[in-house]
Amino acid sequence: MALSPFLATAKRLDELVSTLDPRPQVLLFCSAARVLLGDRAGDTEDALVATYEFAVTGRVPDGTPRTLAAPAESGDVDTVTLDALICADIALQIAHGEVKAQDAVWYVLEPQFQATSERLFGFTDVGSEREERDEAVALRDPTLARAVDAVETTVAELSAEPTEQQAAMAAEALRPLRP
């Protein structure tokens, strides 16, 4: 079965991310989490600082959790926040050597996928009969195209040992991820 255009885009970017060493992978997911959370980092701030430190220095600070506490299943957590927390969790797990960034770019782009579908079609989950056509149309949307390009550009510019300058660049470059 063929992948939908959104899934195909995420899969293509997953392949690019998988070529990176762990430190730039962590920087990508940490930066995406920070952009998606905005000023709502709250309890996640310590984890984001720790993953940032790992990305820049290669050292995980003592006492850094291996994973985040699961967000409440109450429905109060919106998609953007949930995907941001998943990105932060992925960054932590990569930093601890527990996972590889495989099939994870979906969470970086899902907020824009949903926001674009809502803006263009009036709902966030594109119906299965129209899914492929609608997603193909959505991928040509300038806002979503900027978000996809931001991930591609960031991945292309990250080195095996990110610097503080690259970390600042990643945070700025990924701003189009936030709906």
Mean pLDDT of the chain: 89
**32-79 per-position pLDDT tens digit:** 999 999 988 888 899 999 999 999 999 999 999 888 876 655 566 788
Q: DSSP secondary structure string, 10-37?
A: HHHHHHHHHTS-HHHHHHHHHHHHHHHH
**140-161 per-position pLDDT tens digit:** 999 999 999 999 999 999 988 9
User: What is the pTM assigned to this prediction?
Assistant: 0.92
Nearest to 17 by CA among 101, 134, 114, 92: 101
Please state which of the ranges 14-18, 120-124, 131-135 shows the lowest mean pLDDT.
131-135
